[in-house]
Structures are given as structure tokens and as C-alpha cells.
Structure 1
């Protein structure tokens, strides 16, 4: 059993991609005389006719829409037989977003200063103050502040959205209520965070979550 896959291709070009891909897959078979090139061309025409019926006549896709097609096939007695029961088609429709872009242009400066909010989860017996970080009412990260003495603490945390970030461990001086200080300074704290891969931010968040039950 072999499989033909087009990769991502616009609807207007899927037929050419099918042709190029199948001939490339079977070039050695053709050279060895195991299958005639005319049979490959016939099978291509057959498959493209079925795909045209599905994509154009049934789904009425635009030529600019993107598709990814997969189908298995067998070669039996010098004939290509498509396994239509295993045909898979993924569709990615083109969408005009110019209107949305125009709408947000006046708001860009505002969007670049996210309104992060912190919400206290708990304080451990070891003095770890644990908070969730929220943006537009969505939980996007965790932060922990561990007080060393009356005014000195160590802060650490991570966010997953809008971009994965790690707030590296550092000392901060707090001369007021801890919750009030973090609420007023969370944007500045996050502004100095380090950009990382999602998996790194997830590890930090999970490590903070293990403190919650302490």
C-alpha cells in the first residue's frame, strides 16, 4: 500500500500537484517497466476528476483556498487502484481580514500595553505567595513571590500567552502590602520577562503549581 499526499496546495493547483507527485513516486516503477506511464496518466485523470467533483462542484471552493489531499493506492496487475474509502481532504479557506486589520490599527498602542491582572491563589506555610496571571479574564500564567525578610523577596513566574515568557528569579524590595505591590507593578515585571519556548514556560508553571498544596 502506498500513499499520495499533496502537502498544502491552493485549489487551483491541486491537479498539477497530483500529477507531479504520482509521477515522482512511480518513476522507478516506470523505468523498470512495472507500470506504463500511460497507466499513471490514466490514474491521475481519474483521481483529478473525483477531486474536481468534490472540491469544485460540491464544496464550491475558491481557487485561492488551500487544501491538503491524502489517498492510498495499490498497484495490481500493472493497474493503479485508488483506495477512495481512505481519501482525506483538509481545507483551509481564504478569508479577507483587511477589515479587521483596519479596525485594530487605531488600537495598536493600547494592545501593546496588555492589562495584566493578578489573582491570589494561596500563601504557603513557607511564605510563598502564589498568584495566577490573567489577561482578558483568561488564566495565562502563574507567579510566586517568596519573602526572605520583611521587605526583601524573590519573584519567579511564567506566562503562556500572548507569547511564552519566563520571569526569571530575582530579588525585589517591597515596602507595602504584597498584593497591592504586585497588582500595581505586574505590567513592569512582565515587561522584563524572557521570551522562551512554550515547553519551558509550562515547566515553570507546573513547578509553581506544585507549591499550591504546601
Structure 2
């Protein structure tokens, strides 16, 4: 699908990633990782943010243990410390991505919305609530005992199901390769967002925009009408 055809299409539902897509929290993850690793006398590798972007926080803890040269058993402790720092940083400075509020508000008028995130539920919901966005979403889907984290497709499949739409007519909005891969595996069409996409990301998305404040994207969302077809909830 080309950019032009995506912007002439009306999805039956839209599922948003949260971190880095709706909420500007990647900087908080970066600072939290640095605080944890510094406590073990380790400087954060230059490529660490790119390596861990979009990963589930438990997987991030494992990668941090490797970077610090610590035993794998320490990963759980690092994960707990990471979440503690991250929660404090987000609570002190919740910030939305430019264009996120306008896009969500426009989209909620023509399609059911959900969030699919690898973050803890309390962090996602508190951040969206602080931005005045939480009420626009039918569901917030996060990993649990039955749903595997991204890059597995479980979260996107569950989110589309919560919206009552088949994956093939549902749009995912993502900023990371991990999330794009999950949405693609689930069979959703994908809108990628961010300033510097890699080729591997561009190969999987239907359209890429540098920002959710993109004028053509907001104009598209503001002029859509709800589909007349209804989809039975699974």
C-alpha cells in the first residue's frame, strides 16, 4: 500500500503503541537505564537505546545485565530498579508526542481505538490519563500470562479483537521495529512514525511519517467517516 492509498482508506479500528508514539517517554527509559547501570559502575553503550527500543522491560533487564557483565540471575533485580526509576520520571514529567492528542481525538470520531504496549499497565494508563487521552481508548492491552510481548503478535491481535475489527482492516501506529514487527505479524496495516526510519522498518510499514503532527495525516483523520460495515466482536 502506498502513502496515497493509505490516506484514502478508512480503517475499521486503530491500535496505537504508547511509548515513543503517543507519550514522549523514550527519554525517561534512557535516563532510567543510565541510572541503573551507573549504579553498577557501567556507562551506557552508545547503541543501547536503539538495541532496546520497544522491547518488553523484562527483556531490557536481561540486555542490561549483559551490558554490565553481570550474571543473568541479576536481570530481575535490574528490571525492578529500571521500573522504579521509570515510574518516578514519568510521573514527574508526562509529555505527549507532538500531534498525538489531535490525531487521537480525530480518530476517535470515526473508529474504535485501543493501545497495545509492552509497558506496565499503570504506567500506560496514568500517562494517557494525564494527557486527557485515556477515555478515547476502548482497551489498553499489555503482556500478561496469556499475551506475549512484542515482537510477538499477541497484543495487536487482542487489541483488534477488543475493538471488534479483523486485523486486516485495522491500522497500527508504531515507532519501533519491535512494535512494527508485532503489528505486521498480526496482519495489521502499519503507520510508522519517527524522524529517522531504518530500511528494515520501511520495508514493513504501509506509510511512514516523521511526526504525528504531519499535516496530511491530521487532515486525513479529520475528514474520515465511520465505516457503515459492522464487525462482530470475537
Please give the TM-score of this superposition, normalised by the length of structure 2.
0.21
TM-score, structure 1 as length reference: 0.23
Which has more helix, going by share of residues? 2
Structure with higher strand content: 1
Higher relative contact order by CA 8 Å / sep ≥ 6: 1 or 2? 2
